[in-house]
Chains A and B, each alone.
Chain A
Amino acid sequence: MTRGDAIVSCPAATRLPLGQLGEPGPERCGASTSWRVPPANSIGHQRSPAEQGRTVTENAQGLTGDPLAMTSKRLYGPAAGLASLLVAAAVLLPFRDDLDTATVALVFVLPGVAAALAGGRWAALVTAVAAGVALNVGFLRPYGTLKVDLIDEVINLIVFCGVALLTAALAARERDRRQAAEERAARIEALSQENMEIRDEQERLSAKTLALGIAGEHRSALLRAVSHDLRTPLTTIQAVISDLRDGTEYDPAAQDEMLDLVADEAERLARLVANLLSMSRIDAGVLLPERQAIPLEELFEACVKRHSRLVRDRKVAFDVALTLPLVDADWTLVDQVLTNLLANAVRHAPIGSRIDLAARRRSETMVEVSVADQGPGIPLELAEAVFTPFRKGPGSSSSGVGLAIARAIVEAHGGTISIGEARRGGARVVFTLPVHGA
């Protein structure tokens, strides 16, 4: 049993690459394990901590910035304030004799607000002081000096300075608030981003856990099936041989039957071992067909002849057109598919019934092969499930790997396999193979 050990001891990661752990099916039983699963790397990808860290930093960069950017930003506020003050002064200067001091003062509050919003408190203060000076020098008589003539104007100037500073302070506070709100929003954004990544990670991990669980179930189902299937023929062989060795005298007919039984069971073991070997190749992802041009009628004949004992109580009929093209396939593997389908048919169909092996051209590129029996047939709701490893049809005493292996082999050739519509009751399995040279 070293072969079996080799199969089950494969690490989970290498065990199911051909197939696909992705669609575990509704049931959690081993039977639902499917070899048809998405590529292994879809499960395993994880972001490294470094990658994650980088994302966070990128998000944070908008908030703090580097020192150079900070300095230019600090200068940007007063510059904006002074520039707007200059523009305002330039616009108002020609009309300074017609304008009321209060109007000018009101206009001069605006650069302070602009500076406050752009640069904060410090910029606002600079602009406000500059505005006060500009107001005094440019718009309060006597022009060009810091002197003030009228008491009214003095009061105006003082009020202006107060209002300008207050407005600037308020604007600056508003700016701070807005900045804080922005920072908060950015932080929340970053956090939610991180959160999403964590959730993704969690999903990936739980998918992985599920996959590993399925692999575990797959493994125990395999062990159960293998030990049962190896043991049953061995039990029969041992029972018969122990009886023969006991020296009981049998009549020739009984003796023949016992020898037949041993031979049948030995062949069954051989088929099982062939299936186990294929299964280990499928699990290891190394089922690569060695393609050659095959005449299907020859393959049919050779396969049935080799299993003449298996089918001896059934009538096997061939239906292969003379014009059928050669197929591009691995002889041994297709032979195994046929063997499994024949064994299935023999297992389920009554003695004396007919098994039909047929091949016909389905399309330019594909040939369709079918194996039909006259047994009880496969219920429609199981038509897909029978191809799942370890899933047995009703009342079947097989391991439930035969059809799963058949599917893996057919798909490795680029074909499909399914339960076809039965023509005479019974089950009909149909698979396709590529035409050689098509």
Chain B
Amino acid sequence: MAALELSSHFRCTVPEPPSPGSAGPILVVDDEPAILRALSVALRARGYVVRTATTGQEALDETALVSPAAVILDLGLPDLDGVEVCRRIREWSEVPIVVLTADGSDDRKVAALDLGADDYVTKPFSTPELLARLRVALRNRSRTGRQTEGPAVLTVGSLVVEQAQHRVAVEDRTVLLTPKEFGFLCLLARHAGRVMTHRTILQSVWGPEYGTETQYLRVYASQLRKKLGDEPGHRRLLTEPGVGYRLVDPDAVDPPCFPS
């Protein structure tokens, strides 16, 4: 049942993630028992094995102990700051991390993302949205290691990026891009479905000395949208206000996780 349900969620051409539970449990970290209960029920119903932790220290211990397939991490923990938990996990583990943040703590979710969290969901969240983000994180991790080049040809719906040839096509129509635009798009396509923070994009495309020049990104994003033929309501390149950008397949059946 779980497998059926999953395949209906992934009609894009990226490979299926490993079946739930095969790569270890999902570790859910939140100090609120009710939310742990809600997420546990939802994840178990979809075939995942679930472990829970209520403090930052417990989260670190569990991560070391059970090697979870992914971590859902609330940033507001009673002992350790969630951002700090994120940083410590990243010191030795590449496990996908989806952070849960309370409304209005943009700085902290950006900090967590910069430190290597894979994605975020703002409380109050919809469970399907959180699960979609989790699947994207798991899929990305199973396909490519973090910060690697990935396969030579990236496909996100009708968008095809041939990395070696510097060629981009939308619906079989070739699109001409400047080197920076191409770099920008490549990075997003390699991590399709995942949010890339402003800092990550600037540092990997412009260079390590960049990090705060978000105005560049606005210009390049709007040029890319024009060239890719993005229309409002049917966008590939999504803006995450105050955080970064995300490339999605607008035709994928994965609503409501990627509102446009």
Contact = CB atoms under 8 A, between A and B. Distances in A.
Given A242-B128, A261-B34, A235 B123 contact: yes
B37 A261 contact: yes
A232 to B, nearest CB: 5
A233 B35 CA distance: 8
B102 A231 contact: yes
Interface in A236-257: 236, 238-240, 242-243, 246, 248-251, 254, 257
B127 to A, nearest CB: 4
A257 B41 contact: yes
Contact of B124 (A235, A254, A257, A397): A235
A234 interface: yes
B35 A239 contact: yes
A251 B42 CA distance: 11
A246 B34 contact: no
A217 interface: no
Given A235-B123, A243-B128, 12 more contacts: A236-B34, A238-B125, A239-B39, A239-B124, A239-B125, A240-B42, A243-B42, A243-B126, A243-B127, A246-B128, A250-B45, A258-B41
Contacts of B103: 231
Interface string B18-31: 00000000000001
Contacts of A373: none
A250 B45 CA distance: 6
A261 B124 CA distance: 16
A410 to B, nearest CB: 29
Contact of B34 (A232, A242, A250, A254): A232
A94 interface: no
15 contacts: A228-B102, A232-B32, A232-B34, A234-B124, A235-B35, A236-B35, A238-B124, A239-B35, A239-B42, A240-B38, A242-B126, A242-B127, A243-B42, A257-B41, A258-B41
Query: How large, as a class, is the contact surface on chain B?
Result: 20 to 34
A395 interface: yes
Given A249-B1, A264-B34, A265-B34, A239 B45 contact: no
B127 A232 contact: no
B1 A246 contact: no
Given A248-B46, A249-B1, A261-B41, A238 B126 contact: yes
Nearest to B125: A239
Interface in A251-309: 251, 254, 257-258, 261, 264-265, 268
Query: How large, as a class, is the contact surface on chain A?
Result: 20 to 34
A250 B43 CA distance: 11
A254 B32 contact: no
Contacts of B45: 248, 250-251, 254
Interface of A: 228, 231-236, 238-240, 242-243, 246, 248-251, 254, 257-258, 261, 264-265, 268, 395, 397
Contacts of B44: 254
Contacts of A242: 125-129
B242 interface: no
Nearest to A232: B32
Contact of B32 (A236, A238, A243): A236
A13 to B, nearest CB: 30
A271 to B, nearest CB: 13
Interface in B118-152: 123-130
Contacts of A250: 41, 45
B128 A254 contact: no
B128 to A, nearest CB: 4
Contacts of A246: 127-128
A239 B32 contact: no
Interface in B8-67: 31-35, 37-39, 41-42, 44-46
B229 interface: no
Name the 7 nearest CB pairs between A and B, nearest first: A242-B126, A243-B127, A235-B124, A238-B124, A236-B34, A246-B128, A239-B38
A47 to B, nearest CB: 46
Contacts of A258: 38, 41
A267 to B, nearest CB: 11
A235 B124 CA distance: 4
Interface in B205-225: none
A231 B41 contact: no
B259 interface: no
A59 B130 CA distance: 78
Contacts of B126: 238-239, 242-243
B125 A235 contact: yes
A250 B2 CA distance: 10
A231 B78 contact: no
A194 B233 CA distance: 75
B225 to A, nearest CB: 29
A254 B41 contact: yes
Nearest to B128: A246
Contacts of A239: 35, 38-39, 42, 124-127, 130
B5 interface: yes
Residue in A236, A258, A265 with the greatest tally of chain B CB atoms within 10 Å? A236
A349 to B, nearest CB: 13
A350 to B, nearest CB: 12
Contacts of B37: 236, 257, 261
Contacts of A238: 124-126
A397 B33 contact: yes
B176 to A, nearest CB: 41
A242 B121 CA distance: 14
Contacts of B125: 235, 238-239, 242
A242 B128 CA distance: 7
Contacts of B1: 249
A395 B1 CA distance: 39
Residue in A234, A239, A395 with the greatest tally of chain B CB atoms within 10 Å? A239
Contacts of B32: 232, 235-236, 397
A261 B41 CA distance: 10
A238 B130 CA distance: 12
A342 to B, nearest CB: 17
A353 to B, nearest CB: 16
B119 to A, nearest CB: 16
